[in-house]
Amino acid sequence: MNIAIDGPAGAGKSTIAKRLAADLGFLYLDTGAMYRAVALAMLRKQIALDDEKSVSAALEQTEIDIRYENGAQKVYLDGKDVSAEIREHAVSKAASDVSALPCVRLRLVELQREIAAKTDSILDGRDIGTYVLPNADVKFFLTASVNERARRRYEELKSKGTACVLEDIRNDIEVRDYNDSHRAFAPLKQADDAVAVDTTAMSVDEVTAHMLNIINGKRV
User: Which DSSP category does 194 fall into?
Assistant: P
Q: Give me the least distance between CB of 113 and ligand DC, in Å please.
A: 12
Q: Which of 20, 32, 59, 75 binds ligand DC (CB under 6 A)?
A: 32
Residue 126 binds ligand DC (CB under 6 A): yes
- In the three-class reduction of DSSP (H, G, I as helix; E, B as strand; rest coil), residue 27 is classed as strand
Q: Give 55 or 219: the residue with its C-beta nearer to ligand DC.
A: 55
Sign, CA torsion 78/83/88/93: positive
* Total number of residues that touch ligand DC (CB under 6 A): 14
Q: Give me the least distance between CB of 127 and ligand DC, in Å please.
A: 5
Residue 36 binds ligand DC (CB under 6 A): yes
Q: Give me the least distance between CB of 198 and ligand DC, in Å please.
A: 18
State how far the Cα of 160 lies from the Cα of 137, in Å rounded to an integer. Answer: 36
Sequence-distant contacts of 68-71: CB under 8 A, at least 24 apart: 68/27, 71/22
Residue 141 binds ligand DC (CB under 6 A): no
Q: Give me the least distance between CB of 106 and ligand DC, in Å please.
A: 12
Q: Give me the least distance between CB of 164 and ligand DC, in Å please.
A: 16
Tell me the DSSP string of 34-83.
Answer: HHHHHHHHHHHTT--TT-HHHHHHHHHT--EEEEEETTEEEEEETTEE-T
Residue 143 binds ligand DC (CB under 6 A): no
Mask 174-203, x = binds ligand DC (CB under 6 A)?
--x---x-----------------------
Alpha helices in the chain (DSSP H): 13-24, 31-44, 52-60, 89-98, 102-118, 146-159, 166-182, 204-219
Residue 20 binds ligand DC (CB under 6 A): no
Q: Give 25 or 95: the residue with its C-beta nearer to ligand DC.
A: 95
Binding residues for ligand DC, rule: CB under 6 A, are 9, 31-32, 35-36, 95-96, 99, 125-128, 176, 180
